[in-house]
Structure 1
């Protein structure tokens, strides 16, 4: 009986061949999937490498050109500088870049502070408080996103003169804040929506007023999106050109974009000094994004992705 049972359970040649064929098919399918995933991964890495080269090479070319002289700029535009000529940066600073740099820092810093704080307050009110005509307010904010700044140049010119802030730092600070509040409010509001209301209730039970709950509880929880909003505002204000050109006429108050354009007209043939000024203008934003990149990405993914 034992022999008969063993005979019945032993697979025959056909079953063994079918099992081997199935196993080979599974291995081929797995190998094909692995090869496909490998090809996709290689293509992604090649694309990312090409993107890195496309982004970094112009910046590196600008930095390298800032250390050259005029002869090297035209003789070997794609080559490395023969020596590090730091005097190009000193000449750029003495040509007005330092003054333009300070003006840009003042205007950008003030506009970041006002834009982020006012937008955070507005977003908190739209999310937590029962605001009358909330739908109308959201519609007006959406309309602010659709308004092109250049369309309002003529009425803004007369308005700034009536307010006696034309050709002052306040002209740019007020405009940069006003035109960025709609976008920043929507950005912060999208993040605040998913903060549970129980947080405010717990703060109220602990004796906090709505203002204290906003400053001490809600605002610290919104740090990633606040960093994202601050970086986006910094990038906008630092590189903005049209308002700075139209509403600032004094040379001592010009920001970097307009100041570099004026410097180019005065130093038409001194390209290394021009590149040195451009390098000094680009460096702060690069450093700022490198410092806040984690919070920036987290804020955007948690805010816009909701």
Structure 2
């Protein structure tokens, strides 16, 4: 008589299926997006909070500045801005506008013409000329203060607006030419040929065809130069002695020495000096970003 024995089957534990790959990717993208958003929020606070603190402090009095430096002003003291204006900020403001606007026009136009020559015209020693222009990026302005002092005196433009306009133009042409050239490289040459077939000369093609097509990079170059010229300090301090010609950075430093204890008036002057650049960048930010991204990507 045979006895049959059955071996019990051991059931393996049920394993949960791994999440789909698409779900993991979605979660990863969301985490990366959250990390980027947090980083941008921290950067925004780091940039905007000092500006907001400066604006709020311009409406305080000295006691509030020292007793409640992080608090809100008790009232809006617009007279601080009137005091800053009477202390010379308006004059410094006008001087900065004159120097900045004039140097923007000269720098952008000369750099655009140089970039056009290097990219659209066949000139002798074009590569060498490009190297010389880009070599100007390595020259530190402060190193040339002493020889520039004698040069400006020999040209009889020392202690004039032209001293800053010429220097700002000369030292910014290499960088501005580099930006505009990078944008012009991939502009279709068929446009030039069509303009010449229509009877345009090279200069007419530059002014009527190429320059309008380069509007984004021209705006970007103008904004970058405006930021440089508006805040430049060393040249404005060394090459201008007339108090009536001082620009905002030097003028605000001079005002600080005369109004040492009136900090709200100082903050009011700083707010007036920072406001134009903030407004200018808000107006031209779309063209600014477009010019830089398209130019640097070529």
Deviation at 1:25, TM superposition (A): 2.8
Question: Within 5 Å, which residues of 2 pair with 1:119-138?
Answer: 119-138=111-130
Deviation at 1:102, TM superposition (A): 0.1
Corresponding residue number in structure 2 for 1:216: 208
From 91, 108, 113, the counterpart of 1:116? 108
Corresponding residue number in structure 2 for 1:293: 285
From 9, 17, 25, the counterpart of 2:18? 25
Aligned partners of 1:268 and 1:154: how far apart in 2? 31
Normalized per residue, the structure richer in helix is 1
Runs (5+) with no aligned partner, structure 2: 1-13
Corresponding residue number in structure 2 for 1:54: 46
Say yes or no: does 1:250 pair with 2:256: no
Scaled by the length of structure 1, what TM-score is found? 0.91
Deviation at 1:293, TM superposition (A): 0.3
Corresponding residue number in structure 1 for 2:137: 145
Deviation at 1:46, TM superposition (A): 0.8
Corresponding residue number in structure 1 for 2:183: 191
RMSD of the TM alignment (CA)? Answer: 1.3
Corresponding residue number in structure 1 for 2:167: 175
Corresponding residue number in structure 1 for 2:8: none
Deviation at 1:168, TM superposition (A): 0.1
Matched residue SS, 1:25: coil
Deviation at 1:305, TM superposition (A): 1.9
Scaled by the length of structure 2, what TM-score is found? 0.93
Corresponding residue number in structure 2 for 1:94: 86
Runs (5+) with no aligned partner, structure 1: 1-19
Deviation at 1:269, TM superposition (A): 0.2
Deviation at 1:141, TM superposition (A): 1.0
Corresponding residue number in structure 2 for 1:207: 199
Aligned partners of 2:181 and 2:206: how far apart in 1? 13
Aligned partners of 1:33 and 1:21: how far apart in 2? 22
Say yes or no: does 1:105 pair with 2:93: no
Corresponding residue number in structure 2 for 1:15: none
Corresponding residue number in structure 1 for 2:158: 166
| Number of residue equivalences | 285
Say yes or no: does 1:67 pair with 2:31: no
Aligned partners of 2:69 and 2:171: how far apart in 1? 40
Aligned partners of 1:71 and 1:26: how far apart in 2? 62
Deviation at 1:58, TM superposition (A): 0.1
Aligned partners of 1:71 and 1:124: how far apart in 2? 58
Question: Within 5 Å, which residues of 2 pair with 1:254-293?
Answer: 254-293=246-285
Aligned partners of 2:97 and 2:141: how far apart in 1? 22
Deviations 1:248-306 (A, max 9, x none): 00000000000000000000000000000000000000000000000000000011221
Matched residue SS, 2:250: helix
Corresponding residue number in structure 1 for 2:7: none
Aligned partners of 1:34 and 1:161: how far apart in 2? 66
Aligned partners of 1:222 and 1:37: how far apart in 2? 36
Aligned partners of 2:27 and 2:207: how far apart in 1? 54
Deviation at 1:37, TM superposition (A): 2.1
